[in-house]
Structure 1
């Protein structure tokens, strides 16, 4: 029997496979464990189940004297010092599949909000429902049909966004580290282009890269200057993929049309200026904020933990 520390609060459904075989420690209902509480409890645990907004750095890892696995409840794992975990012989896993469809849904929702100015109309309507100006040329949106979607980081989520946008009649340009074969591009109905060309040609630029030293500020002042003044930027990846002050400046000056943002550079706390801009739709990192997704993520997390402990299946290792 292993001892497993679950550091975060989530749905209870799906954990039965763990609790039936192992000792599992959960936080009080309605909140996560604090860093101090994790450090206090992790000493003799075999497994730590972490989540993207709980940092797992060297100090915390060093408290886990028996730790063999860190199972992250997210696709991103930049909250974990994976290199140090590897040095200590600790395996790290993530949950890459259960996040795909809900995050793609949110990216499309942000895109529709920006293209049809839904959040802007909603705010104006609430402010003055009787006298709201809605003449034929007021707050004009744009059609998606016939427009070009540019995707940087064409992984599973990027591909899911592409499928949705193709259903709206959009053309898809993509860029990723390893290009698909021409046959696969034809099958997917997508076209490869270098990063700068994707940025220049996109009517909508959607970001789906992990956060690494190479992708930090992937979109900065230089790249924003390349974008069409009518372009929309969507970020459901990680906040620091975008230079947020540079984005604020571009939005204020009308150098791009709009942005739909679910993630933000400073620990997911938006720049105050973003709240003042009408051409921005904001959500507070809710890419997987559906009940179905939460349950699927629990199942995926538990599959990794059980697979690691039994050694009887493939798990989603990231180190």
Structure 2
């Protein structure tokens, strides 16, 4: 029976379909994670390695997977995996592109509305004062979302889902991506392509959904924030290093932009003091997919891809199908 070694506990309902067909090894206690030493030992004897919990899958770990031709990764992002080296070694990388789409898009909209309507600030005021008091009838702090321009940077599955939801809120949607769809497809989706700099100037909300690659490091920095409207909001649901976190804090503090919301941070797990001190920043701790239904679906999606690969097929969620060519 082939072994699938999982670095962190996954629910029994995700494992059940494969009982008696594959030996799925994972911690027995809910939310438990194997130690680094246990992961290394498990990697040496498994037929497939399934990385969950931010496990760094670099050359050292990949070299230990002598028997495994498949490595699963929990999440749509895979910047924790040395895909280039894995490909050289003939190892297929599996991710979870479908199961994270809606839940991440929902969190994006939640952050957008929280920032645009100053919900965390109002929540804090009510708790501190223990009273419901309207301080100013015409306070110029919030923004009505309807008829505003949502600029989406990165137009993959999640970007498209955000576009659909934003349009449902009555927003106009523009987007930037390195490979834009044809105009007919744009019309069908009700969106419009703009060059990056033009999008920054036009959008009332700039929402980032690009994968993290070297060329995207600090895609959003001091210059980019300066090009945005002073009334604009920046949302980051991509990866922390896509933004210069200190430049974002500076832009918020100086009024270069009105507000921001981010679920990811440049130096995770740390958050810079400069950003944490900004009252016009909404911050969540990388929980974009932290809904039990979604997490179960993610665990199952990667597991199904791993099993498909163990059966000799290249699944749709293979990041590097060329590894087996």
**What is the TM-score when the length of structure 2 is the normalising length?**
0.94
User: Could you tell me how far 1:13 is from its partner in structure 2?
Assistant: 1.9
User: CA 1:187/1:34 → structure 2, altered by over 3 Å: closer, same or farther?
Assistant: same
User: Is 2:151–2:174's contact at 8 Å kept on the other side of the alignment?
Assistant: yes
User: Could you tell me how far 1:190 is from its partner in structure 2?
Assistant: 0.6
Q: Match for residue 44 of structure 2?
A: 43
Listed as ranges, the matches of 1:150-169 within 5 Å are 150-169=151-170
List gaps (5 residues or longer) in structure 2.
321-325
User: CA 1:241/1:188 → structure 2, altered by over 3 Å: closer, same or farther?
Assistant: same
Q: Match for residue 10 of structure 2?
A: 10
Q: Match for residue 33 of structure 2?
A: 32
User: Could you tell me how far 1:271 is from its partner in structure 2?
Assistant: 1.1
Listed as ranges, the matches of 1:185-196 within 5 Å are 185-196=186-197
List gaps (5 residues or longer) in structure 1.
none
Paired residues in the alignment total 319
Listed as ranges, the matches of 1:289-304 within 5 Å are 289-304=290-305
Identify the range of structure 1 (5-14 vs 246-255) with the bigger mean alpha-carbon deviation. 5-14
Aligned-partner Cα distance in 2 for 1:221–1:126:
34
What root-mean-square deviation, in Å, do the aligned CA atoms of Structure 1 and Structure 2 show? 1.5
User: Could you tell me how far 1:135 is from its partner in structure 2?
Assistant: 2.6
Q: Match for residue 200 of structure 1?
A: 201
Aligned-partner Cα distance in 2 for 1:131–1:98:
40
User: Is 1:52–1:72's contact at 8 Å kept on the other side of the alignment?
Assistant: no
Identify the range of structure 1 (237-246 vs 29-38) with the bigger mean alpha-carbon deviation. 29-38
Q: Match for residue 143 of structure 1?
A: 144
Identify the range of structure 1 (44-53 vs 126-135) with the bigger mean alpha-carbon deviation. 126-135
Q: Match for residue 181 of structure 2?
A: 180
Aligned-partner Cα distance in 2 for 1:268–1:209:
20
Q: Match for residue 244 of structure 1?
A: 245
Aligned-partner Cα distance in 1 for 2:123–2:6:
39
Helix, strand or coil for the counterpart of 1:15?
A: helix
User: Is 1:52–1:77's contact at 8 Å kept on the other side of the alignment?
Assistant: no
**1:21-70 superposed Cα distances (whole Å, 9 cap, x missing partner):** 11111024222122222012211111111136111111111222212110
User: CA 1:56/1:122 → structure 2, altered by over 3 Å: closer, same or farther?
Assistant: same
Aligned-partner Cα distance in 2 for 1:131–1:311:
62
